[in-house]
Amino acid sequence: MKMKKWLPFLFTAVLLFACHSQEEAEPQVQKQAAMDYSDGLASFDSLSPAQEKAFNLLDSLQTSSDQAHRLFSTFPGSYHEGFPPDSSLSLSSSQLKTALQQFIRQNYARYSEEESNNLAQQIALLQEDYQLLLCLPESSNREFSTTPAQEGIWVLPKLLGRRDLVLVW
């Protein structure tokens, strides 16, 4: 009989203790998430003037293509249409420059060949080497060694750790 009297008190004490422990844990998780985020921001190196200009040019190209959604940026490490990629390659800045020249000529009629070459050159200076995630259409069974197919979706992930660049050929 005494046990029945104490059972509600015992149940209430356990419930209060469990809720109190959860409340203490949540701020710690939020604090850790905030620290992770701020650590990521703090790790950004400042951009050189050439890198700043390259990002500005990418922003300009993103909003001025002949057709929408041909070139765009996303948060770094995002999941993109066409994933998983069919291949992953390494590109030098000169290889990227050549591809960008072709891409700009195909998708930006307002630029002359000289302007396209200049834009591509300035953008390619953003980094020395690039990772390319290549997502080809299902009907494409291409094989290539070092020259990627200029088709499908190209994803250049984590440019300077700041954004992914997506080109839709």
Cα 121 to Cα 100: distance, rounded to the nearest angstrom = 8
Cα 90 to Cα 66: distance, rounded to the nearest angstrom = 28
State the DSSP H helix or E strand holding residue 89, giving kind and residue range, or none if neither: strand 87-92
φ/ψ (deg, to 5) at 168: -105, 110
Q: Per residue in 60-96, pLDDT tens?
A: 999 998 998 899 999 999 999 888 998 899 999 999 9
List helix spans (H) across 43-142.
49-62, 93-107, 113-124
CA distances, 18 to each of 4, 6, 13, 101, 136 (Å): 22, 18, 9, 62, 52
What b-and-e string marks burial along 99-121, b requiring 16 or more CB atoms within 10 Å of the CB? bbbebbbebbeebeeeebbebbe
SS3 assignment, position 59: helix
Whether 41 has a pLDDT exceeding 80, the answer reads no
Whether 25 has a pLDDT exceeding 70, the answer reads no
SS3 assignment, position 31: helix
Average pLDDT, the chain: 81
Q: Is the model more confident about 5 or about 64?
A: 64
What is the reported pTM?
Answer: 0.68
Whether 114 has a pLDDT exceeding 90, the answer reads yes
Whether the CB-CB separation of 161 and 76 falls below 8 Å is answered with yes
